[in-house]
Amino acid sequence: MSRAPYSRLVGESSSALNLGKSETAALTVATGGVLALVLGWILSSRALRVLGLAAAVAGGGLYARIKLAERTKKIEVAEGHILAELDELDPVARAQVLKGVVQAEL
């Protein structure tokens, strides 16, 4: 099996500074919410605390949704590569590979 597609996937996700615009926006909203929450505690402002908590939860939820979508896409790509490799094998070899994968997971 070729390891080039896997190494390409790992290389894309290894850069922590490579954030998209939507990820940056989600993190900005979450950070602003946390700052507003802390400021609300300092100033004893209930409205600011509620607003900060809502923004932090919304930003965190949006960021989690973006990361889960990226993960799903990577899984689909990997699944496609694996299925393409398995299609090239004869049925007995395919069964042996699948048996090995299952045994490795147990």
Distance between CA atoms of 32 and 21, rounded to whole angstroms? 16
Distance between CA atoms of 58 and 61, rounded to whole angstroms? 5
Q: Which amino acid is at 77?
A: V
Query: In this structure, is residue 90 part of a structural domain?
Result: yes
User: Which pLDDT does position 105 carry in this prediction?
Assistant: 86
Task: Report the domain count for the chain.
Answer: 1
User: Which pLDDT does position 72 carry in this prediction?
Assistant: 95
Query: In this structure, is residue 11 part of a structural domain?
Result: no
User: Which pLDDT does position 18 carry in this prediction?
Assistant: 62
Residue with tokens 């919410």: 33
Distance of CA 96 to the CA centre of its chain: 31
**pTM score of the predicted model:** 0.65
Query: In this structure, is residue 5 part of a structural domain?
Result: no
User: Which pLDDT does position 106 carry in this prediction?
Assistant: 85
**CB contact set of 51 (below 8 Å; sequence gap of 6+):** 33, 36, 40
- Nearest residue to 1 via CA among 64, 81, 63, 71: 81
- Nearest residue to 59 via CA among 93, 28, 35, 36: 28
Query: In this structure, is residue 6 part of a structural domain?
Result: no
User: Which pLDDT does position 17 carry in this prediction?
Assistant: 55
pLDDT per residue of the chain (106 residues) written in tens, 0 to 9: 445 555 455 555 545 556 788 899 999 999 999 999 999 999 999 999 999 999 999 999 999 999 999 999 999 999 999 989 999 999 999 999 989 989 998 8
What is the domain extent for residue 73? 20-105
User: Which pLDDT does position 1 carry in this prediction?
Assistant: 45
Query: In this structure, is residue 39 part of a structural domain?
Result: yes
